[in-house]
């Protein structure tokens, strides 16, 4: 069965899409730790980043770099934190999170409650920096 992220890529489930190319896709995390929290995924399903083919993994990192630099232009922060967890969704994804302190990467913290309008607005602003 397709993962929820594959269903997002295929347009079956809505998302706030930031960018895509033939191999990779970026969209806002629906339960963000910070405004601009974005997920970057390979379109090819693989549940564990360390099992990706080298070339696919390199491409994923380069795609994430481009997206992270765009987020940085929009969201005031010290830097963009990158992390991979993958305990919830078995489809490799890199979290890109604007951070000012180590605690901003703490996933057990309560998530932000952003409105659809706020998510749409941040999505458009990040896209405009690509
Ligand atoms: P993890 O697998 O532990 O890295 O966490 C999965 C992440 O995917 C969480 O931060 C969720 O908020 C996010 N997520 C799950 N479903 C969706 C969705 N439909 N759209 C956007 N983000 C999602």
User: For the chain, how many structural domains are there in total?
Assistant: 1
Query: Does the Cβ of 105 fall within 6 Å of ligand 1?
Result: no
3-state secondary structure 20-54: ECCCEEEEECCCCCCCCCEEEEECCCCCCHHHCCH
* Residue 36's pLDDT band (cuts 50, 70, 90): very high
pLDDT, one tens digit per residue, over 1-17 is: 899 999 999 999 999 99
- In terms of DSSP bridges, do strands 94-99 and 38-42 run parallel, antiparallel, or are they unpaired? antiparallel
CATH code of the domain containing 115: 3.30.428.10
pLDDT, one tens digit per residue, over 41-74 is: 999 999 999 999 999 999 999 999 999 999 999 9
Percent of the chain surpassing pLDDT 90: 99
The verdict on pTM exceeding 0.85 is yes
Domain extent, residue 61, equals: 4-128
Query: Does the Cβ of 55 fall within 6 Å of ligand 1?
Result: no
* Ligand 1: residue whose CA is nearest its atom 1: 86
* Residue 92's pLDDT band (cuts 50, 70, 90): very high
Structural tokens at position 8: 């997002």
Instruction: Among 30, 33, 87, say which to mutate for ligand 1: greatest number of ligand atoms within 8 Å of CB.
Output: 30
Distance CA 100, CA 81 (A): 9
Structural tokens at position 50: 């360390």
Query: Does the Cβ of 91 fall within 6 Å of ligand 1?
Result: no
Q: Does the annotation mark 93 as catalytic?
A: yes
Question: Where are any strands of DSSP class E within the chain?
Answer: 17-20, 24-28, 38-42, 79-83, 94-99
Of residues 108, 106, 126, 127, the one with CA closest to residue 35: 126
Neighbours of 87 (CB within 10 A): 6
Where is 123: in which H helix or E strand? helix 116-128
* Ligand 1: residue whose CA is nearest its atom 16: 30
């Amino acid at each position: 069965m397709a993962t929820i992220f594959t269903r997002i890529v295929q347009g079956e489930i809505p998302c706030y899409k930031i960018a895509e190319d033939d191999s990779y896709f970026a969209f806002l995390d629906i339960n963000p730790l910070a405004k601009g929290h974005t997920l970057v995924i390979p379109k090819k399903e693989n549940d564990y980043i360390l099992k990706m083919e080298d070339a696919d993994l390199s491409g994923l990192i380069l795609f994430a770099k481009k997206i992270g630099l765009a987020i940085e232009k929009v969201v005031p922060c010290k830097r963009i934190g990158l992390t991979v967890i993958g305990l919830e969704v078995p489809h490799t994804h890199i979290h890109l999170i604007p951070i000012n302190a180590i605690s901003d990467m703490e996933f057990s913290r309560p998530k932000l409650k952003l409105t659809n309008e706020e998510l749409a607005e941040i999505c458009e602003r990040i896209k405009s920096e690509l």
